[in-house]
Amino acid sequence: MFRDTSVTAIRQPSNVIAMSRHKNYSHSSHIAEVEGYWHALRGRRAVPRRAEVDPRGIERALERTFILEQVAPGVGRLRIAGSHLTDLMGMEVRGMPLTALFVPSARDALSVCLDQLCRTPSTMLLSLVSAQAAGQQKLTARMLLLPLRNEDGVINRVMGCLDSAGLVGIAPRRFSIAACHTTVLDGDDLTADRAAAAAPEPARNKAAMHLQGSGFSQSPAAFSGQTPNDRTRADASPASAFRHLRLVTSET
């Protein structure tokens, strides 16, 4: 079981980056560079957008940087990955789940971390260990995970940096989680998200009345967090279509 230490972040003024945030990363300039760049992107927001990420902003850390997509709660698939991750695994890792870099006993804990990171949202710094084995020295590493929004504003992308210390040796190298440090985020965009979720929407109220009229018990709050497209799909579901049908039989 890994150790979990959590803190709550203080919102920073626009275009100001607190370098004191990076004091624990003095041994890893790559992690400090990626985190500093991400904080500069977000400004007063909690989470920046994936489209805003420019590789030129983290040139010195590119080989250790990756971007993944959360394809299901707690499941992240690597979309972009630097050469250092390829060296650790001994193969191309793009398209692979992030859990492939971890030993089986650590994968459930990693899934919990990814789910929390996107839902809360928050940032995470994982302390990792790859045990010594034949042809493999003990390898320590740190992995930084930072949330991103997709083109629709949904938080389901993650920018990360994996920085290991020591010789890679014979690949693949898989890690266990020794500790997880979590920082909960806040920002102007989350305030706007909460306000939008709390505001009544005609489409949401209409959908709720349809459900109540068909014998289902469902409150408008159940639709919160869905996109307009999600609500359209819900209204167009087979169960919704059946509510407009009436069975007519002839009497004998």
- For residues 61-81, average pLDDT: 97
Residue 141 CA to residue 135 CA, distance in Å, equals: 18
Superfamily in which the 3-188 domain is placed by CATH: PAS domain (3.30.450.20)
- The answer to whether 77 and 59 are in contact (CB under 8 A) is no
Residue 228 CA to residue 182 CA, distance in Å, equals: 31
Residue 97 CA to residue 78 CA, distance in Å, equals: 6
* pTM reported for the whole predicted model: 0.70
Percent of the chain with pLDDT over 90: 62
Q: What is the pLDDT of residues 194-250, one digit of tens each?
A: 888 887 765 445 444 443 443 333 333 332 334 334 433 344 444 444 344 444 455
Q: How confident is the model at residue 195, as a pLDDT?
A: 84
- For residues 44-53, average pLDDT: 97
Where does residue 183 rank: exposed (0-12), middle (13-18), buried (19+ CB within 10 A)? middle
Q: How confident is the model at residue 4, as a pLDDT?
A: 52
* pLDDT for 164 beyond 70: yes
* pLDDT for 42 beyond 50: yes
Q: How confident is the model at residue 208, as a pLDDT?
A: 41
Q: What is the pLDDT of residues 105-160, one digit of tens each?
A: 999 999 999 999 999 999 999 999 999 989 899 999 999 999 999 999 999 999 99
* pLDDT for 16 beyond 90: no
The amino acid at residue 139 is L
**Residue range(s) occupied by CATH 3.30.450.20 in the chain:** 3-188
The amino acid at residue 95 is G
Q: What is the mean pLDDT of the chain?
A: 78
